Structure 1
Amino acid sequence: MNDVPVTCFRIDESGYTGFDLLNADQRFQGASAVAIDDGEAARLIKAHFPRLQAPELKYRALSRRPSNHPRLLGLMKDLLSDFDSVTYVADKRFMLTLMFVEYAVEPYYYERGFDLYENGQNYAMASMLHMAGPALLGKTELAALMDTFQQAMKDKSPKSLQQLVEAARATNWGKIPEVLGPLAQYADRDCLSAIATPGVSTDIALVVLISLITRMEVMAEGAYRVEHDQSKNLSAYHDILQRYINHDKEVEFRATEITSLRFPLKLEAVKQVESKSSPAVQLADVMIGAAIEAGNTLTGLRSGGLGPEDLMPLYREDQFIHMLPSIDFEEQRRFRSGSQNSQAIDYLAANIFGKER
């Protein structure tokens, strides 16, 4: 008989804009998961905000007042020190660039026997395109290419695919033909077919959840469950989690040197709750709100919130996951060496989401 208690992770998200990863107002998307019960959460909220009059704790409302910042930092310190948690934050524009590589470039190499996912080469290529692309291809031309790609992924019409090819050709693509050649030079059928595949989109809710799950699977000693708010945005996360729970075949994929994805999951249930009645879900809101705000501050998009220099040292290395471009290619090669992301993507598409590459 298993005497290990069932852990409950409360999760919340921020920055979700569906397929639109170019949303000017929300540059970052992410989610947090924290293993805390409502009783402990209520105690922490009362300890740090004894005079709170609002019906629920909301990070955005609290962070507007500088007088609340020391209390928010104290709350974050207690959460990160005393409770298992993970926070994931992604730069959505970089994620769109990464998807461009995966759909508009990778199929060309795949059909020629070259695994672009091996050792994180797709990540390195996307980082290079994201960071050096404006100078090499033209800032306006690259922006138009990414916008056209996003639209083609949504519409999947012959017209949108042709517009994508034309947008690639309008760039100075000869500077990096290994990236844009498949579209600009060849209008590669395999790439265009991948983009036109029904059901695939630029929505990164799946990516966010995989990152949370790989950490929750490690943190939970035994079976665990998830509770989240009833918001419309989280309905996409709820559906994906339920599909994962229902998948009972035994399979495992290596993602990085420290993470893997193994089915069946230890996750046994997911439930939507009213955030006003769940102090624990409210704390998940604080965690992801603080992380997203730090990203906005560091990139100069907003100011006035918690200082990143005060917040970021509170995290342990295994508590914070980010998807940002990196030009340290050797470090990324080592970190992603032996990655089975390509196999994992094919498996998830065919066996959980009913699509095939």
Structure 2
Amino acid sequence: MKCFRIDESGYTGFDLLNADQPFQGATALAIDDDEAARLIKAHFPTLQATELKYRALSRRPANHPRLLALLGDLLRDFQSVTYVCDKRFLLTLMFCDYAVEPWYYARGAKFYEDGQNYSMASLLAMAGPVLLGKAELAALLAAFQRAVREKSLQALKDLVAAARRTDWKQFPEAIGPLARDACPDCLSAIAAPGVTTDAAMVVLQSLISRMEVMSDGPYQVEHDQSKNLSTYHDLLQRFIDHEGEIELRQSKIASFKFPLKLTDVRQVDSKLSPAVQLADVMIGAAIEAGMSLAGLRSGGLNPDELLPLYADDQFIHLVPSIDFEAQKEFRRGAQAEQVIDYFSTHFAAKSGRQVG
């Protein structure tokens, strides 16, 4: 049976504003341990460490050609998908989901149609610091994250106050529901049990949508025993156990269908699994490329050499975009509202609502 090895990077739980880890992602790689060990030996024949770790290897420029060659082999010869998101943008999307959309829904507007939520979130992320005030927008997102986590009356009041401290009349479409109206529907959505800013659900939905396409029949997942991956493990098991039958279109290239072909998820010791170690290399390289492109890190692999190695269906990224026509075309006909309703109904107790 096919087995995908998964590893993650950048997971900070509910905190999507962590300055040290602004990107989060995961890789799923279909490779067995024997083949993985062969590739590691071929590209790093003198490796003395007991475990292949991307961060340790990337610190030495002499390792960069070997890492690029290894990644090239993996991306060319083995099925994989890598997902990376800008966590601040994801939080902005969540803000639009909970603090904006209920106001539009009550008025009969189709907020998610053709990716309008992504367009609003992108505009808020890219133009918001100028329109609303950089410090004020940062404070608003922090207050939103806190309100989702605490769900207290005081935290909700502080969120409304933070919205009103922005220059919100410059962007009333996004900030008005809170700043002008203190919209009860929005505040109720934020305070609903199970709503969270934890991004694990979003990451897994993206990986699973591709693993399901890449698998002709039943498949398994293995991952490391790290504390961070325990959240992913629990969600994967819940997906496996879910008995519903439904197929929902998320975008031009992605859909989600239950029941899954995924049948089993297991934790393993990464020191004993060369395949899991290679998943670590793949997500480590992708996250480092994001950091480099954002100007937050230097000295690692050159993103201009790494990113062309990926096929279009091997890399999924969530970042703001003001190419609104392209976003509209990409998300035309997507069933975002139905996806949100389905996941909030069946998985909200632990994971919260999915972001369109």
TM-score tier (shorter): over 0.9
Whether the 8 Å CA contact 1:12–1:33 is kept in 2: the answer is yes
Q: Distance in 2 between matches of 1:354 and 1:113?
A: 27
Percentage of matched positions with identical amino acids = 69
Q: Does residue 304 in structure 1 map to residue 302 in structure 2?
A: no
Q: Distance in 2 between matches of 1:157 and 1:165?
A: 13
1:221 deviation in Å? Answer: 1.1
Opposite residue 154 of structure 1, the aligned amino acid is R
* Counterpart in the other structure of 1:249: 244
Q: Distance in 1 between matches of 2:252 and 2:134?
A: 35
Q: Distance in 2 between matches of 1:95 and 1:247?
A: 26
Q: Distance in 1 between matches of 2:171 and 2:34?
A: 56
Q: Report the CA distance shift for 1:143/1:353 in structure 2 as closer, same or farther (over 3 A).
A: closer
1:352 deviation in Å? Answer: 3.2
Whether the 8 Å CA contact 1:247–1:352 is kept in 2: the answer is no
1:353 deviation in Å? Answer: 3.5
SS in 2 for 1:352: helix
Q: Does residue 66 in structure 1 map to residue 58 in structure 2?
A: no
Q: Distance in 2 between matches of 1:156 and 1:250?
A: 32
- Structure 1: 5+ residue runs without aligned partners? 1-5
* Counterpart in the other structure of 1:3: none
Opposite residue 95 of structure 1, the aligned amino acid is L
* Counterpart in the other structure of 1:346: 341
One of 81, 104, 109 as aligned partner of 1:109? 104
1:354 deviation in Å? Answer: 4.2
* Counterpart in the other structure of 1:332: 327
* Counterpart in the other structure of 2:124: 129
Q: Does residue 321 in structure 1 map to residue 321 in structure 2?
A: no
* Counterpart in the other structure of 2:193: 198
* Counterpart in the other structure of 1:210: 205
* Counterpart in the other structure of 1:223: 218
* Counterpart in the other structure of 1:277: 272
Whether the 8 Å CA contact 1:153–1:201 is kept in 2: the answer is yes
User: TM-score, length-normalised on structure 1?
Assistant: 0.97
Q: Distance in 2 between matches of 1:32 and 1:126?
A: 25
SS in 2 for 1:105: helix
- Residues 167-208 of structure 1 show CA distances to partners (whole Å, capped at 9, x for unaligned) of 000000001111111000000000000110112111000000
Q: Distance in 1 between matches of 2:181 and 2:61?
A: 55
Whether the 8 Å CA contact 2:81–2:315 is kept in 1: the answer is yes
Aligned length: 352
Opposite residue 290 of structure 2, the aligned amino acid is G
Q: Distance in 2 between matches of 1:353 and 1:133?
A: 30
1:342 deviation in Å? Answer: 1.4
Q: Distance in 2 between matches of 1:109 and 1:232?
A: 39
Q: Distance in 2 between matches of 1:228 and 1:341?
A: 29
Q: Distance in 1 between matches of 2:244 and 2:200?
A: 23
* Counterpart in the other structure of 1:120: 115
Opposite residue 85 of structure 1, the aligned amino acid is S
User: TM-score, length-normalised on structure 2?
Assistant: 0.97
Whether the 8 Å CA contact 1:32–1:86 is kept in 2: the answer is yes
> Aligned-residue CA RMSD in angstroms?
1.0
Whether the 8 Å CA contact 2:4–2:29 is kept in 1: the answer is yes
Q: Distance in 2 between matches of 1:130 and 1:346?
A: 25
